[in-house]
Amino acid sequence: MNTMADLTLTQIILLYFAVINVATFFTYGLDKWKAKRSKWRITEAALLMLAVLGGSIGAWLGMKVWHHKTQHKKFRYGIPAIIILQAVLIAFLIISFLDKNKKTKSKTLRFLYPEPEHNHLKQRKEKLIK
């Protein structure tokens, strides 16, 4: 089983986005449940902030599944706008990373991808194991 120390930066980022989107999805459902029962509500600012912090897909799915905030313009247009902005940002970061890594083979980013084992080291290991 992997511990947090064993995870790569990419795995940590993917885990973060999975958690924030699931949490956002259920937060929208909880707010809809509270709205039906006239209970204390989650603020619109908090719902939008969850989307901005990476939960935009969860927010959009929550709106569709729970039929929540679908008539509010700031949600109807705001959530898709956040998704588009985040997609553009992610694409820019990926392109920048790939371009920079290709040109400089930056040592600061090598920890993301382990170096392939050199053949002579592999042979030495095999001899030690025998």
Which pLDDT tens digit goes with each residue over 47-90? Answer: 999 999 999 999 999 999 999 999 999 999 999 999 999 999 99
Whole-number Å distance between alpha carbons of 52 and 79: 9
The H or E element that residue 86 is part of is helix 78-104
Q: Residue 99: what pLDDT?
A: 79
Predicted TM-score (pTM) of the model is 0.72
Residue at token pair 């392109």: 95
Q: Residue 80: what pLDDT?
A: 97
Q: Residue 124: what pLDDT?
A: 72
Where along the chain do its domains lie?
8-129
Q: Residue 27: what pLDDT?
A: 98
What is the mean predicted confidence (pLDDT) over 99-124? 62
